[in-house]
Structure 1
Amino acid sequence: MPELSNRSLDRGIDVLETLAQKGACSLADLHRHTGLAKSTLRRLLGTLMERHIVRQSLTDKMFRSNVIFPPGSDAPQALELAMLIDRAMPILSDLTARVGWPSDIHILSGSRMRIIDSTRPLSPYRLNHGFVNRVINVFGSATGSACLAAMSDETVAEHHKNTANDATWGLKRFETDLQTYLKRLQEVRKTGYGTRLSNYLGETVLDDGLAAIAVPIFVNDWPSGAITLIWPRAYKSTAEFAALHLGDLKRTAERITEAFAGKGEPLPKG
């Protein structure tokens, strides 16, 4: 009996295995690692992206796997969150086209936030580019406070417990305690948006000089992530910026939540 095989399927698996082993890859990287022609890779990647198995980040144009692989890979997200990214990015791009300022999308990853993508390359304002898959502090970041404010105080206390002795990822980093932070979340709920802690300058070595407001996005009624609008701190105060753009940001978050739930307008494939 002849051996059964499917050449295209075999090549597609080669691409997925490479992304699992090497992490984020450019087209040139995949060509080098797999030996496949770039024209072949483009066809394979087109199919894999249409089926939400692979995504290409807007920020760095790198390809990443949406399939969960064992630890040691590029920490690909669950397919559910990959679908969220696919639905979010066209809507976020529309927001940046309207207001000019860029938007990042972060997801809650344990007791940390993870940057998934950004519209910074589309903005006319030359802000420094974000880093896809960079992990940031949930308590200090605007997106983290937006997500935590959408949770109960008991759930926030669990995140604190999980990071209580961690000088990098816990409240200890900001020399504050849980009760003080919970009072801050009350303000976030009142204003309707999250902001950075005043003594949180991001995860870069130098102060990036940026400010951000953030609102949560929901998957199955849970604040699984958040989106931001970002601007230079010297441009406007947070209150002034929010007065101009919070409405657009909230409507964008609602569109993303509805699109993921299948209630919004259908999005283009690919």
Structure 2
Amino acid sequence: MTELKNRSLDRGIDVLETLSRNGACSLADLHRHTGLAKSTLRRLLGTLLERHIVRQSPGDKLFRSNVIFPPGSDAPQALELEMLLDRAMPVLSDLTSRLGWPSDIHIVSGSKMRIVESTRPLSPYRLNHGFVNRVINIFGSATGSACLAAMPNQTIADHHTATLDDTTWGLKRFGMTLDTYLRRIEDVREAGYGTRLSDYLGETVLDDGLAAMAVPVFLNNWPSAAITLIWPRSFKSPADFAAMHLQDLKETAVQISNAFAGIGPEGPEELDRLPDQPENNIE
């Protein structure tokens, strides 16, 4: 019996397995790992990109897989993330085009935040490029505080318990108790946007000199992601910057949340604002 085998399909699976095993890759990385000619890889990637099985980040130009492999594979990207980015990036690119300032997309990843995309390369301001897939502190970051502020206090307490005594990812890093942090979250809720803790400089070795303002994006009615606007700290205080651009950022977040939910501009159930704040009592 003649063995049935599709050579192109087999090579495409090799590319997906390589991305799953090694994470984000450049064309040169894929060539080195698979041994396939770059011309072949370009054709395969063209099809995979068109079918949304693979994505190429504008932030770092690297390729990433969007498929879920069987258990035991190295942390591939979920298809839901590709759906978010498909809907968010055109809107965020337009925001950066209008305001000039760049925006990052972060998602809640366990009790951390993870950077998944950025418009920094599209901004006329030469700010430090973020690192896609970098994990950052949920309590100290602007996006983390924006997402947590949209969650019930009990959920915040659960994140605190999960990182208790962790000097990198928990509140202990900032010398804060849960009660102290919840008081800060009330300020975030009142302001309508998240900012970095004053003593949180990110996960880089050196201070990047940047400030960030963030609001949540709702996926399946839960604040699973957040978008930012980023600027040099020396330019404006967060309050002054928010007075200029918070409304634009909130409208963008609502547009992304609606698009993810499949609500068009004329949809009768379209949100015109972010959802109300959650019940704040810890049970």
Q: Which TM bucket (shorter chain)?
A: over 0.9
- Which deviates more from structure 2 when the two are superposed, residues 52-61 or residues 150-159? 52-61
Q: How many residues align?
A: 264
- Relative distance call for 1:127 and 1:200 in structure 2 (3 A) is same
CA distance in 2, matches of 1:86, 1:28: 25
Report what 1:21 is aligned to: 21
- Give the TM-score taking structure 2 as reference length: 0.90
Offset at 1:151?
Answer: 0.3
1:147 equivalenced with 2:125 (yes/no): no
Q: 1:1-270 alignment to 2 at 5 Å?
A: 1-69=1-69, 70=71, 73=74, 75-264=75-264
Residue 163 of structure 1, CA deviation? 0.5
RMSD of the TM alignment (CA)?
1.3
Opposite residue 151 of structure 1, the aligned amino acid is M
Distance in 1, matches of 2:227 and 2:184, equals: 19
Q: Distance in 2 between matches of 1:61 and 1:72?
A: 23
Distance 1:48 1:93 in 2: 23
Aligned partner of residue 30 in structure 2, secondary structure: helix
Q: Whole-Å Cα distance in 2 between the matches of residues 230 and 5 of structure 1?
A: 50
- Who is 2:271 aligned against? none
Instruction: Output the amino acid matched with 1:68.
Output: I
Deviates more, 1:153-162 or 1:63-72: 63-72
Report the alpha carbon displacement of residue 42 of structure 1 after superposing the two structures with TM.
1.9
Contact kept? 1:31, 1:41, Cα under 8 Å: yes
Residues 59 and 118 of structure 1 are in contact (CA less than 8 Å); yes or no, is this contact kept in structure 2?
yes
User: Gaps (5+ residues) in structure 2?
Assistant: 266-283
Scaled by the length of structure 1, what TM-score is found?
0.94
Mapped partners of 1:239, 1:72: distance in 2: 45
Query: Is the Cα contact below 8 Å between 1:255 and 1:264 reproduced in 2?
Result: no
Q: Deviations over 1:30-78 (max 9, x none)?
A: 12222222232222212222222211111110001112345673x3322
Measure the CA separation in 2 of the matches of 1:16 and 1:99: 37
Instruction: Give the SS at the match of 1:226.
Output: strand
What secondary structure is seen at the aligned counterpart in 2 of 1:225?
strand
Q: In the aligned structure 1, how far is the partner of 2:212 from the partner of 2:124?
A: 17
What per-residue deviation string (whole Å, max 9, x for no partner) do you get for residues 99-145 of structure 1? 00000000000000001111000100000100111100000000000
Q: Deviations over 1:216-237 (max 9, x none)?
A: 0011001111000000000011
Contact map agreement 2:217 2:225 (CA 8 A) in 1:
yes
